[in-house]
Amino acid sequence: MAATPALQVLTSNRLRDGAVVYWQAGAWVEYFKDADVFHDKPLADAALAAAMVFVKDRVVVNPYLFAVREEAGQIRAVEQREIIRCAGPSVRRDLGKQAKPSMEAFDVSI
Amino acid sequence: MYRYDEFDAQFVKERVSQFRYQVERRLAGELTEDEFKPLRLMNGLYLQLHAYMLRIAVPYGTLNAKQMRMLAHIARKYDKGYGHFTTRTNMQFHWIKLVDVPDILEELASVEMHCIQTSGNCIRNVTADHFAGATDEEIEDPRPLCEIIRQWSSLHPEFVFLARKFKIAVGATPHDRAALLWHDMPVEIVKNEAGEVGYRVYAGGGMGRTPYIALLMKDFVKREDILAYLEAVLRVYNQDSRRDNIHKQRIKILVNTIGQEEMQRRIEREFEEIKASGSLQLPQEELDRIKAYFAPPKFETLDDEMPIGSYDFENWKKTNIHKHRAPGYAIATISLKAIGQTPGDISHVQMDALADLMDQFGIDEIRVSHEQNLVLPHARKRDLPAIFARLQKLDLATPNSGLITDIIACPGLDYCDLANARSIPIAKDIARRFENLDRQHDIGELKIKISGCINACGHHHAGHIGILGVDKKGVEYYQILLGGSGAEDATVGNIMGPGFSAHDIGPAVERVVDTYVKLRQNGERFLDTYRRVGMEPFKNMAYLEQMYAAH
């Protein structure tokens, strides 16, 4: 059985528009940089349980936890899938969350 | 092209109303996501990485100018200004909001379009040769049969909830442009020895994790019996296929488990029963009625001379212009594979401009090919220089149809929730490596097909060079397959070996192609050379860098 990753972030898609959202202090925010980072499993699991209320209330669908790591003082998603969800399509840098001028660059190039 | 009758219009209108109500109920909490998901999938709506994705049916790949303008409008109003043509000849929009979908469906219905049969375990949008009705090779236009199959299958109570999705394609030429034998049930229009037109039916083709080429079920089905025979195939599939394992539920697994002969026997038994009941006979009058919708335009009497033009125009002619059945006319392929662009993507500006071009040059319809290009089926030869000039301005005149840069690629991990790896950046990288047109011409026909996961939407099994994206602990890797074909000599490609990193896959493909150039004999295509010499020489060169690195 795979070990539970040390650091995790909780994410989901908003029901009305499908937008990627992240968990921050009991609510959903649009940007990965604002997301809560869970350092231990009980806290992450508690957030996931709390998130299910938002599923019931038709705010989001399919919340889940994913692995992140700390790199040069920054939090980054471990898997390519989550890196792309955080940023937007790597082939259209003008679209998705990466398109917002204030967003720092995401390293998703080949 | 086909025009909705009263029933079609009512059916689509009702479906829009039903879905509007279903979305309202979902948003009001009367439906859970588990309850809603099959309903949205029945209307082509997926939840993908960044937003919802709406897949719009383009039946047998045929669009008129009004419909093209509607797709441009949807791209502009509801998406981010572009759409993506798929290997099922459908259109996908990747940035859709759930709350907008009922309005989008209503707008689509106003131009006789919908998203029905683009998802779920049903008979999917039927595809056909994109040169249908224009090529001089065909026995007859396959699209009337596609339309009849659509009408027969859309509300068929037995086939709404099949074990898995079911894909049908219809062809009518010796040269297969529709990847016919890769379908669950390919239908080929043929003539028997007496000169009668009928149908050759196959079953059990498919890609995915277990690729199979379809096997012949019946060599000649009479015209009036075709629906009875297709129903018999579907019945055997519906009754006998597994339902306990999603990976074993396609008809290809059934056919290859019980064998060709047993499958034929079971179908024949059903077929005889259906025929004996006297139902499902296809009356000639009905066939004629549908055929009338697909009557070719009135071809003018024109000089058959092909215009001569600039260097660029001549290059475009070499690969993108094809022989038409009528003198003075040509079939023109509009490449959606500009170097460095996403295969199959098209902007709202390009869509609108193409609709204008169709109007200006009197071209009633445009086709979507499974190779993610567009086709003008009936262009006057004398108009080609002007058409080319317009396409050049739109960045739609890339002269690469059938060449190495005419790459099929699925949306991959840049958009798709199922993908393990990105396809588009790999396609772009390879296209840039082979950008030089002289080199492309020297290499000749070479079909590269890239999928971002084992579901094979990018047809990697059928690529002369196939590329499959895989996930290794969250990192993208790419396997190479060689020797696949989606043409009349359909073949499943063979996996070369371990995957390459995203950084290494482009150079590896280049070494494979260079190996072909060194080994080819007497005008052999890449596929011919591979079939003659086998995997080894290509494999040795592809992994060369890794071998150096290891030492």
Quick one: pLDDT at residue A1?
46
Instruction: Assign B143 to helix, strand or coil.
Output: helix
Quick one: pLDDT at residue B500?
97
CATH number at residue B167: 3.30.413.10
Q: Is residue B336 part of a domain?
A: yes
> Which residues 108-147 of B are in CB contact (within 8 Å) with A?
none
Q: Is residue B302 part of a domain?
A: no
Check whether residue B145 and residue B194 sit in a common domain: yes
Q: Is residue B347 part of a domain?
A: yes
Percent of chain B with pLDDT over 90: 93
Alpha-carbon distance of B373 to B401, in angstroms, equals 8
Rg of chain B's alpha carbons, rounded to an integer?
23
To 10 degrees, what angle do helices B526-533 and B502-519 make? 80
Residues B116-150: pLDDT tens digits?
999 999 999 999 999 999 999 999 999 999 999 99
Quick one: pLDDT at residue A6?
87
The more confidently predicted of residues B451 and B277 is B451
Structure tokens at B503: 């950084």
pLDDT tier, B549 (very low <50, low <70, confident <90, very high otherwise): low
Alpha-carbon distance of B1 to B67, in angstroms, equals 12
Alpha-carbon distance of B204 to B227, in angstroms, equals 18
pLDDT tier, A105 (very low <50, low <70, confident <90, very high otherwise): very low
- Decide if B422 and A110 are in contact by the 8 Å CB cutoff: yes
Mutation test of the interface with chain A: which of B34, B35, B50, B423, choosing the one with the most A Cβ atoms within 10 A? B50
Neighbours of A43 (CB within 10 A): 13
Q: Is residue B300 part of a domain?
A: no
Rg of chain A's alpha carbons, rounded to an integer?
14
Residue type present at position A38: F
Q: Name the maximum alpha-carbon separation found in chain B.
A: 73
Q: Where are the beta strands (DSSP E) in chain A?
A: 7-14, 20-24, 27-29, 60-71, 74-77
Check whether residue B199 and residue B325 sit in a common domain: no
- Decide if B49 and A55 are in contact by the 8 Å CB cutoff: no
- Closest C-alpha to B267, from B225, B233, B234, B303: B233
Evaluate whether A12 touches A62 at the Cβ level (below 8 Å). Answer: yes
Q: Is residue B238 part of a domain?
A: yes
Alpha-carbon distance of A61 to B84, in angstroms, equals 25
Give the bridge partners for B372, in sequence order.
none
For chain A, give every domain's residue range: 7-99
Burial class, A75, CB count within 10 angstroms (exposed 0-12 / middle 13-18 / buried 19+):
middle
Structure tokens at A53: 């209320």
Check whether residue B340 and residue B477 sit in a common domain: no
Evaluate whether A61 touches A17 at the Cβ level (below 8 Å). Answer: no
Check whether residue B450 and residue B501 sit in a common domain: yes
Residues B281-295: pLDDT tens digits?
888 999 999 999 999
Domain boundary among the residues B64, B91, B109 is at B109
Tell me which residue in A62, A67, A90 faces B414 most closely, judged by beta carbons.
Answer: A90
Q: Is the pLDDT score of B184 beyond 90?
A: yes
- Decide if B342 and A81 are in contact by the 8 Å CB cutoff: no
* DSSP secondary structure, B436-496, as one string: -HHHHHHH-S--EEEESSTT-TT-GGG-SEEEEEEEETTEEEEEEEES-B-STT-BPPEE-
Residues B370-423: pLDDT tens digits?
999 999 999 999 999 999 999 999 999 999 999 999 999 999 999 999 999 999
Check whether residue B25 and residue B87 sit in a common domain: yes
Quick one: pLDDT at residue A110?
42
Q: Cα B297 to the chain's mean position, in Å? A: 25
- Decide if A88 and B50 are in contact by the 8 Å CB cutoff: yes
Check whether residue B164 and residue B287 sit in a common domain: yes
Q: What is the mean pLDDT of the segment spanning B338-344?
A: 97
Check whether residue B418 and residue B315 sit in a common domain: no
Quick one: pLDDT at residue B44?
97
Q: What is the DSSP letter of B121?
A: S
pLDDT tier, B278 (very low <50, low <70, confident <90, very high otherwise): confident
pLDDT tier, B61 (very low <50, low <70, confident <90, very high otherwise): very high
Alpha-carbon distance of B513 to B491, in angstroms, equals 19
Quick one: pLDDT at residue B157?
87
Residues B191-235: pLDDT tens digits?
999 999 999 999 999 999 999 999 999 999 999 999 999 999 999
Quick one: pLDDT at residue B474?
82
| B96, closest residue in chain A (CA to CA) | A17
Quick one: pLDDT at residue B141?
97
Count of structural domains within chain B = 4
Q: Name the maximum alpha-carbon separation found in chain A.
A: 41
Q: What is the mean pLDDT of the segment spanning B331-348?
A: 98
Percent of chain B with pLDDT over 70: 99
Q: Is residue B117 part of a domain?
A: no
Q: Is residue B298 part of a domain?
A: no
| A58 shares contact with chain B (CB less than 8 Å) | yes
Domain that holds residue B336: 311-393
Q: Is the pLDDT score of B551 beyond 80?
A: no
Q: Is the pLDDT score of B4 beyond 90?
A: no
Evaluate whether B62 touches B143 at the Cβ level (below 8 Å). Answer: yes
pLDDT tier, B40 (very low <50, low <70, confident <90, very high otherwise): very high
Residue type present at position B257: T
Residue type present at position B146: C
Sort out which chain B residues have CB atoms less than 8 A from A62's CB and list them.
33, 47
The more confidently predicted of residues B280 and A89 is A89
Alpha-carbon distance of B497 to B504, in angstroms, equals 14
* DSSP secondary structure, B202-268, as one string: EE--B-TTS-B--EEEEEEEEGGGHHHHHHHHHHHHHHHS--S-GGG-SHHHHHHHH-HHHHHHHHH
pLDDT tier, A109 (very low <50, low <70, confident <90, very high otherwise): very low
- Decide if B474 and A79 are in contact by the 8 Å CB cutoff: yes
Q: Is residue B399 part of a domain?
A: no
Residues B165-179: pLDDT tens digits?
999 999 999 999 999
pLDDT tier, B548 (very low <50, low <70, confident <90, very high otherwise): low
Cα dihedral angle (B103, B107, B113, B114), rounded to 10 degrees? Answer: 0
Check whether residue B233 and residue B197 sit in a common domain: yes
> Which residues 41-60 of B are in CB contact (within 8 Å) with A?
47-52
Alpha-carbon distance of B401 to B321, in angstroms, equals 9
- Decide if A110 and B426 are in contact by the 8 Å CB cutoff: yes
Q: Is the pLDDT score of A106 beyond 60?
A: no
Domain boundary among the residues B109, B127, B143 is at B109
Mean pLDDT of chain B: 96
Paired sense of beta strands A60-71 and A27-29, if any: unpaired
Residues B87-107: pLDDT tens digits?
999 999 999 999 999 999 999
